Amino acid sequence: MRVVLFGATGMLGSGTLIECLHSPEVEAVLVVGRRSCGVEHQKLRELIMEDMFDYSSVRDQLIGHDACFFCLGISSARMSEDAYHRITYELPLKAAQALLAANPGMTFCHVSGTGAYSSEQGPMMWARVKGMIENKLIEMGFGSTWIFRPGFIQPVKGVRSRTPMYNVVYALVKPLYLVLSRLTRRSITTTEMLGRAMIRAARDGAPKTILHNSDINRLAE
């Protein structure tokens, strides 16, 4: 399986990259981003783009891939709805359109978030926008589309968040992770489990289109 990965410099994307590079199911990974992910591996190739909204000059480099793992995302804190919409809706849509044109029938795995509004209606701006892009991706006509809505995610295998405050929380939670994971299986997963679940969904499919932490954990086992 040949994979295109977005968001490899972030916590979820870097965790997913680790799983892709170690999985015998993944033959090659094309990492797309504005800067290098800083990883070297025989499976890995990078496509550095100044403009993540324009794929007209790189279409040929997108051809020949089986799946996309879209792990790029930002916090909505202190952002206007227009600005958040541009990154959370317009950016993945542009990528999806380019990939679908280059690879009809490919699988698209999109990391959203727990609490997204499938109805696109509700008081939380971020949840409305995430619901909008989820629905759009599902209706686009990919071979299959899987929406991952993780809740709390514990980073493992040396993965770190780019947000310092989050790293403090993860460090505090880490000693309790094994206990918490048994008590609250529905609400806790890891970067490893998320990456493995996306690989499994791309290879074998999943029991339902929208996957929460408990579904992610079962799929990754």
Q: What is the mean pLDDT of the chain?
A: 90
Mean pLDDT, residues 104-116:
96
Q: What is the pLDDT of residue 152?
A: 81
Q: Do residues 143 and 158 touch, judged by C-beta distance below 8 A?
A: no
Q: What is the pLDDT of residue 167?
A: 47
Nearest residue to 108 via CA among 143, 74, 135: 143
Per-residue pLDDT tens digits for 26-66? 999 999 999 999 999 999 999 999 999 999 999 999 999 99
Model confidence, pTM:
0.89
Q: What is the pLDDT of residue 113?
A: 94
Q: What is the pLDDT of residue 15?
A: 95
Least confident of 66-75, 119-128, 154-163: 154-163
Structural domains of the chain, with CATH: 2-220 (3.40.50.720)
Q: Is the dihedral of CA 174, 71, 79, 158 positive or negative?
A: positive
